[in-house]
Amino acid sequence: MLNKINSNLYTHAEDLAKANAIDPESIVFNNDLLRYYGITNNDGLRSTLYSLTAVIMTVIVIGSVSLIYNAFAISVSERSRHLGMLSSVGATRRQKRNSVFFEGMVIGVISIPIGIICGLVGIGITFMFINSMVQGALGLTEKFIVIITPLSIVAACAISILTIFISTYLPAMKASKVSAIDAIRQTTDIKLTGKAVKTSKLIRRLFGIEAEIGLKNLKRNKRRYKATVFSLVISIVLFLAVSFFTSSMTKSVELSQHGVNFDIQVYLGNEDRTTIDPLIQSITTLQNVTEASVIQNMGVSSLIEEASLAPELRERVKMDNSMLKDGKLPYQIEVNALNEESLRAYATAIGADYEQLVDPEQLAAIVIDTTIYEDMIAKKYVETKAINTKVGNSLDLIYTGGLTDKWINLNQVKIAALTDQLPMGILSVGVGNLNIIVSEKVMNQLIDDQIRSGIQTFIYLKSTDPMNTQRQIEEIKEGRMSVYNMYQGRQQEEQMIMLMSVFTYGFIVLITLISIANIFNTISTSISLRKREFAMLKSVGMTPHGFNKMMNYESIFYGIKSLLYGLPLSIVVMYLIHKSAMYTFSYRFTLPWTDILFVIAAVFVIVGAAMLYSSSKVKKENIIDALKQENI
C-alpha cells in the first residue's frame, strides 16, 4: 500500500525488486485500479489521454474566450461615445482601461461561483443516473460520488480568471486609446472608402439591390462582421471537434471490446442438418427469444495474390518471400452459411442483392473486408483491411484439413459485396484470416461431399431473459449440443459504450448551447447597434419585403464565409484528435459527413433565427427615434 499514488510507483517497484534480488518481470500491477487514478505504464495510452485532453481543452478555451471577447468588444464599441465623454472631462487612459477590467472582474465574481456550483450539482445528478450503468460496465461495487478537492476548485477558478482576462485585454486596450473627439464623433469604428465597400456588379444582377446593400453593410463595419464570422467559425470548430471526439471515443471502446453481438451460443456439432432441424426449430421459438440466427461454419483456405493482402501482411512478405506459395499467400477462410431469414435481413442491411446470394448456379458470397486485432508489440488496437479486392472478383477455395497434407480444390465463389459489418454470431478473425457469408444453398454447392462432415452448426440467440432461456435450452439438450451464455460480457460492453455516450453527448449538448449563445449574442448585439442605419434605409423607401430580403442575404453571406473558414479548420482539429487516438488505436481517418452536413444546415438555421429575432425587434422601432440615436 502506497501513501501517495502517482506514476513514480513503477520506478519504485523496479528499485524495490532490484534491492531484494527479485526478477522485475515477476512484478504484477493492478492496472485496472491504477487506471481509475489516471496512472498507466502504457506510453501509448498515456500519450493518447494527454494529447486528446490538450486538443479538446484548447478548443474549449478558445471558444470560451471568443464568446466573452466578442461580448466585451461589442460593448466597448457601443460605449465608445461614453468613453470619449469621460476623456473630455479628464479620464485617463488607465482609468478607461481599468473600467473594462473592472467589468470583467464583476462578471467573474458573479459567474465563477455560480459556474462551480452548477458544475458540481450537474455532475452529482449525472452520477445519480449513471451509477447503476457504471457498476455494470466497469464491474464495480462502489458508487461514484462527488468529492470536492481544493486543487480542482483552484484550477477551475484560475482557468476562468485567465479566460476572462484574455477576453477583456484587447477591448480594454482599445478603450484606453480612444481619444475624446474621435469617440464623440465615432470616427474610429467605421472608416469608409469607395474601395472598402465596393461589391461585384454580378451580385446585383443575380440577387438584386437588397443583396448588394446587405454585402455593403457587412463591408461597411468590418470589425462587427469579423466578430460575427469569428463566432460562427469557433462554433463550427467546437461542435465538429467534440462530435468527432465522441465518435472516436465510441470507436475506441468498440475496438477494445470483444464485439460479442449475441446473448447465447448453442453448438450443435457436425450432425446432418436434416436430423437437427426439429431441435433448431424448438430452440429458436423459445419464449423470450427476440432474434435467432442459424449458422453453418466450415474452415477452408484460399491463395491470395500479394497485391490483395492486408497491409500488415504485405510488409511481412517483403521481408520474407518464403511465406508465398506460387506468388500467393494462404489465407484461412471461415465460410459461414446463414439461414434464409438472417441472410435476407443482413443483405438488406449492407445493401447486397439477396437473390444473387441464393442462386446455386452462380455461387456468390459477402466478404467481410475489415478486421480488428490487438497488436501486442505496439500495444494498440488496430482496425485494418483484411483483404484488398473488388466486387466481381473470385476466391478459389481449398480444403487443407484432415490427417494428410493433401489439398482438395473446392468450387470458386464470386464476391457479391464487401462490407465491414458483421452479422450476429460472427466475430473478427484477425489478419491473415477472412470471413465470408453465403447462403445454405451456396454452402451445399461449395463444399465437397467428402469433407461435408466438417461443417459445424451453431445457433446464436438474443433474449429478453438470457438466464431463463439458457435453462430452457439445457432442459431439451441432446447429443453433443453445448450452450454458452455470453449475456454478461455483452451487457458489459453495451453499458461501457452507453456510459461513454452519456458523457460525450452531454458534452456535445453543452458545447452546442455555448455555440448558439455565442452566435445569438454577437448577431443580436450587432443588429441592435444598427438601428439608425436601418431607419435611414426605411426613410429612403426600402419596403418591409426588401428589408427582409436584405437580412436574409446578410445571413447567407455570414454562413458562407464562416463555413469557408470553419470547415477546413475543423478538419485540421479532427485530424489532430485522430492522431492523438492513434497512440493506442489504429483505424482510418474518415470525415463525419453526417455531422458536417448537419453543421452546414445548422449554421444557416441559427444565423437566420438570430437575424430574424434581432430584426423583429428593430422593426418595432420608430424611424424618427432611431434616426436620433447616437450609436452607429
Q: What is the 3-state secondary structure (H, E, C) of 569-598?
A: HHHHHHHHHHHHHCCCEECCCCCCHHHHHH
Of residues 75 and 9, more confidence is placed in 9
pLDDT tens across 80-132, in order? Answer: 666 666 777 777 778 777 877 887 888 889 888 998 888 888 888 877 877 76
Percent of the chain at pLDDT exceeding 90: 9
Which residues does 194 contact at the CB level (< 8 Å), separation at least 6? none
- Can you give the pLDDT at residue 632? 43
SS3 427: coil
Amino acid residing at 296: Q
CA-nearest of 447, 419, 423 to 335 is 447
Identify the burial level of 263 via C-beta atoms within 10 angstroms of its C-beta, where 0-12 means exposed, 13-18 middle and 19 or more buried.
buried
Residue 403 pLDDT > 50? no
Per the structure block, which three cell numbers stand in for 490?
Answer: 455483452
Residue 294's H or E segment, with its range, is strand 289-305
Q: Which helix (H) or strand (E) segment is 315 a member of? A: helix 311-319
Q: What is the dihedral of CA 368, 370, 374, 377, to 10 degrees?
A: 130
Position 136: which residue type?
G
Instruction: Please state the rounded mean pLDDT for residues 426-446.
Output: 87
How confident is the model over 403-408, as a mean pLDDT? 64
Rounded distance, CA 604 to CA 588, Å?
31
SS3 430: coil
- State the pLDDT confidence band at 437, using cuts at 50, 70 and 90: very high
pLDDT digits (tens, 9 = 90+) for 497-526: 666 667 666 766 776 676 677 677 767 766
**pLDDT score for 631:** 47
More confident residue, 477 or 224: 477
Query: Whole-angstrom Cα distance, residue 451 to residue 246?
Result: 48
Amino acid letter at 341?
E
The whole-number average pLDDT for the span 223-240 is 75
Over 50: is that where the pLDDT of 446 sits? yes
Give me 375's grid cell: 497488436
Instruction: Report pLDDT for 295.
Output: 92
Nearest to 52 by CA among 537, 518, 421, 584: 584
What are the φ/ψ torsions at residue 3 (nearest 5 degrees)?
Answer: -70, -40
Q: What is the 3-state secondary structure (H, E, C) of 336-390?
A: EEECHHHHHHHHHHHCCCHHHHCCCCCCEEEEECEEEEEECCCCEEEEEECCCCC
Estimate the crossing angle of helix 43-78 against helix 544-581, to 10 degrees: 160
> Residues with Cβ < 8 Å from 255, sequence gap 6 or more?
372, 381, 383, 585, 587
Number of residues written out for the chain: 632
Q: What is the pLDDT of residue 45?
A: 55
- pLDDT of amino acid 365: 93
Residue 469 and residue 486: Cα distance in Å, rounded? 12
